[in-house]
Amino acid sequence: MKYYEGHESVYQKLERAGKFAWGDRVGGDGADSEGRNLRLLLDHVFEQVTFAGPSRYALDLGCGSGPVSAILAKRGWRTLGLDVSETAVKLAQRRAAEQGFTDAEFAVGDIINYPNPTSQFDLIVDACCLHCLVFDADRSKALANIRQLLKPGGVFAVCTKTTGAKDKAENFFTDETGILWMYTGTNLFEDSKQVNGKWYMPQRRILSPETLRRELTAAGFTVTWNASMEHGNFSAICQ
């Protein structure tokens, strides 16, 4: 199992607890910081970009339980939410049905191994997905697939982490490449490794805003706007 597929167990716990949001797994101050940052990012997108044509189609990448798709649906967008977690997709479908978003679809999928696209998107939103892809090869494949899925003149909106874990710091360490490793006790994933006799899994890639801008530019995107957000998040609008 790939390291990022561990999100499934988190969404299973949320479902058993009768909850939806990723932030609900921890509670307390800052739990919904990613959701707030995503809403602010989308506000900037719609302030700065005019989308042409009557039919607007968006990809909600790493959709989780669908908060970004819900925002876009309220703006009249047709959306496809993609997540590696089957339970997250089920929760997103339930939320869309309860709120009456008939143009919001959801599917289980992996942007790293995304099949050849049969359609392209006016807008692709990285809903805190990129920082979950820690290795250069995985990130490069994901960004290449995103470019292929984006219509000419389309927009790629990114929300990603620039700081590591603070809670229970003794269970984490960040290596020299910016990969945040989390103590697991056992060998859970194919990319787990032992350090000083203890098993760790890769959890996040923590890069500076400058490094993220360079990475996006190297992948063929033009960064037209970027900002540091609350709780160590970085947002960017790319074309």
Q: pLDDT tens across 16-52, in order?
A: 888 877 777 655 444 455 578 889 999 999 999 999 8
Q: pLDDT tens across 144-162, in order?
A: 999 999 999 999 999 998 8
pLDDT of residue 221 exceeding 90: yes
- Structural domain containing residue 193: 165-206
Going by DSSP bridges, is the β-strand pair 78-83/57-61 parallel, antiparallel, or unpaired?
parallel
Tokens of residue 63, six digits: 């959709």
One domain, residues 103 and 218:
yes
How many domains does the structure of the chain reveal?
Answer: 2
One domain, residues 195 and 214:
no
Contact 124, 47 (CB under 8 A): no
One domain, residues 170 and 226:
no
**What CATH number does residue 222 fall under?**
3.40.50.150
Please say whether the dihedral angle defined by the alpha carbons of residues 7, 139, 41 and 61, taken in this order, is positive or negative: negative
One domain, residues 49 and 16:
yes
For residue 58, which of 44, 77, 34 has the smallest C-alpha distance?
A: 77
One domain, residues 60 and 125:
yes
**Dihedral-angle region of residue 230 (phi above 0 means left; psi in -120 to 50 means alpha; beta otherwise):** beta
Residue 57 located in a structural domain: yes
One domain, residues 215 and 110:
yes
Residue 25 located in a structural domain: no
Residue 8 located in a structural domain: yes
Instruction: Give the model's pLDDT for residue 100.
Output: 92
Residue 43 located in a structural domain: yes
One domain, residues 104 and 180:
no
One domain, residues 172 and 157:
no
Residue 28 located in a structural domain: no
